[in-house]
């Protein structure tokens, strides 16, 4: 089983995992370039993933319910809301994600390819 690690291994991951386990976060967005860099295929509908904590331990099993490649600017509001992080608008979601990726050393622009993943918890660990 492949793994999903949300955010960065610090308080951000703790917070995001808590949102997943509470049922508030049912989606995430990644950079297509990261898949290419890691030579890893995209997730697929029906795939099960281990959601990992900061120590690399599984905290839940997720089932992928949707996968869509798009440009950063085309990420729909519905997906941003499903990320469960409380953004008040698509503009706020974009600004927060731009800041995150810039801090990680990968600034994004409107045309940057992203992967939108929807999931559900099928088994808490």
Rounded CA-CA distance 68/15 in Å is 24
The pLDDT score that the predictor gives to residue 104 is 93
CATH number of 2-124, picked from 3.40.50.720, 3.10.400.10, 3.30.499.10, 3.40.50.2300: 3.10.400.10
* 3-state SS track over 50-77: EEECCCCCEEEEEEEEEEEEEEHHHCCH
State both tokens at 75: 């990420």
Below-50 pLDDT ranges, the chain: none
């Amino acid at each position: 089983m492949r793994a999903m690690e949300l955010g960065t291994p610090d308080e951000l991951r703790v917070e995001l995992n808590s949102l997943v386990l509470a049922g508030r976060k049912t989606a995430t967005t990644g950079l297509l370039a990261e898949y290419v860099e890691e030579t890893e295929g995209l997730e697929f509908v029906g795939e099960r993933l281990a959601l990992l904590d900061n120590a690399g331990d599984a905290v839940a099993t997720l089932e992928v319910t949707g996968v869509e490649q798009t440009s950063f600017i085309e990420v729909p509001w519905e997906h941003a809301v499903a990320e469960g992080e409380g953004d008040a608008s698509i503009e706020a979601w974009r600004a927060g994600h731009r800041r995150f990726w810039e801090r990680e050393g990968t600034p994004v622009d409107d045309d940057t390819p992203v992967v939108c993943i929807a999931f559900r918890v099928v088994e808490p660990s």
